Structure 1
């Protein structure tokens, strides 16, 4: 599926030329966003992998991700777009004749970058550390392309099959400080209070939110649902201070349903669209005061 990408590569510059990222002109940008974690992941039918096969994958990733953790595989969360079906996601459990392989987490030396692999899911993630700040989406995107190509070639080598991506997702988790009188959540200012009749009513410090936005193609006949943006926020007490944890996740079907192996470029286009919607959702659910604090550019 993705072997041709690797065979023709001449380093990261080739990948950038072949899978370019073009940022939308009016997309907000922040110099100091409160991003805590970012993940880009794909899901696919269960692969016929054995635990012994994972040794080869470790060899391929060892230079950049020398640390390895082993955990139990997690059930997939799947968006169901069937008409008449209850809105939302499902947990999907694979039926297998043999015990599932473990989920392996390959981690960089500084613990900020990682690759997660299990029999039906592949993910690249970044997390903030005391020494590493958010590197911007463009850098994370390049890391995903490099690692996805490597994993795709590994699957072809070991299993003799292409990866058939069924769903993809990109997610951002933000920890927004609520100290110094800053109320970053728009709803805290917009929603009416139970005490609205009282001029001395207590101030709303934070509001839990949960939104689901479904995206549809513009085809004739009403189009087809293909992705959802999940926006969730709740107050959380961390080790250092109270924060508003604002999570945004864009998940769905990256390819047209009659396509079999359309390649990596459409998948990256889906991620780019998801990142675009996440940034807009983040900006819409936070205040102008907070934007100034984070150094909003556009």
Structure 2
């Protein structure tokens, strides 16, 4: 899969993490005792394993007065157990699995290989998702039924002063205000060709500090989340690819030319 020529491209982007994920109906009959079988699907490339609390089901809803995701009633027993993390030795690639969720994270690290680009990340994600789908179909007689999908790009932009926000983002006109901290959130509803909402593009800009407090940065997160137009793997991957285009395009819109020059924009 080639990179679309119309998307902004950078030699040195401030990208810190990319997250691809799907939520699906709980695999019928799956219990935590089977988690070692799931790990076996990915153990060759992701030999490190740990346990974490489960993520709650999350659905984007539209049309009501409250724009926040709504709680959903579920038919049958709720998924139980824990969320498994399978990671590479370097720790830069992470797979998260629970009975109704599959998530992959690429994380920038000083000792890890260079950013494999979306094409490499999405190819690995799809291959691993299809492995899980085959396992669910063979072991439990039911393929994955995807009901939500998401993709996030998380950027860390080092700054000398938070009042320099205007140098990086096209969100206000000047830098005359002395900013102590910054936290901006806004969502955009995305509609299909029939003007029916099916996803949101979520924006979050936050001022952050390094662990020792000596360095400042802006954390820019862009997330595309919603319901694919079909519940199979192809539908999920089409949604993720659409989200990537929306996110990268929006990144080029809300960041300044000066910022993009510092990241060595190529196209």
SS at match of 1:90: coil
SS at match of 2:109: coil
Matches for 1:41-190 after TM superposition, within 5 Å:
41-47=21-27, 48-81=29-62, 83-90=63-70, 97=77, 100-132=80-112, 133-179=114-160, 183-187=167-171, 189-190=172-173
The answer to whether structure 1 residue 218 and structure 2 residue 193 are counterparts is: yes
Partner of 1:9: none
Give, in angstroms, the shift of residue 79 of structure 1. Answer: 0.6
Partner of 1:274: 243
Structure 1 distance, partners of 2:79, 2:26, is: 12
For each residue in 1:169-193, what CA deviation from the matched residue of structure 2 results, as whole angstroms up to 9, or x when unmatched?
Answer: 0011111111386832322x426x8
Question: How well do the aligned residues superpose, as a CA RMSD in angstroms?
Answer: 2.3
Q: Which has the larger radius of gyration?
A: 1
Matches for 1:195-214 after TM superposition, within 5 Å:
202-204=177-179, 207-214=182-189
Structure 2 distance, partners of 1:107, 1:57, is: 13
Partner of 1:229: 201
Structure 2 distance, partners of 1:171, 1:284, is: 17
Does the CA-based 8 Å contact 1:231-1:281 persist in structure 2? no
Structure 1 residues 104 and 94: CA distance shift in structure 2, 3 A: farther
SS at match of 2:250: helix
Does the CA-based 8 Å contact 1:185-1:206 persist in structure 2? no
Alignment: residue pair count: 260
Structure 2 distance, partners of 1:289, 1:206, is: 22
The answer to whether structure 1 residue 243 and structure 2 residue 217 are counterparts is: yes
Q: Unpaired runs of 5+ in structure 1?
A: 1-20, 194-200
Does the CA-based 8 Å contact 2:79-2:99 persist in structure 1? no
Partner of 1:288: 257
Does the CA-based 8 Å contact 2:146-2:233 persist in structure 1? no
Give, in angstroms, the shift of residue 158 of structure 1. Answer: 2.2
For each residue in 1:45-72, what CA deviation from the matched residue of structure 2 results, as whole angstroms up to 9, or x when unmatched?
Answer: 1223111111111122110000001111
The answer to whether structure 1 residue 33 and structure 2 residue 13 are counterparts is: yes
Q: Unpaired runs of 5+ in structure 2?
A: none
Give, in angstroms, the shift of residue 203 of structure 1. Answer: 4.5
Structure 2 distance, partners of 1:94, 1:150, is: 26
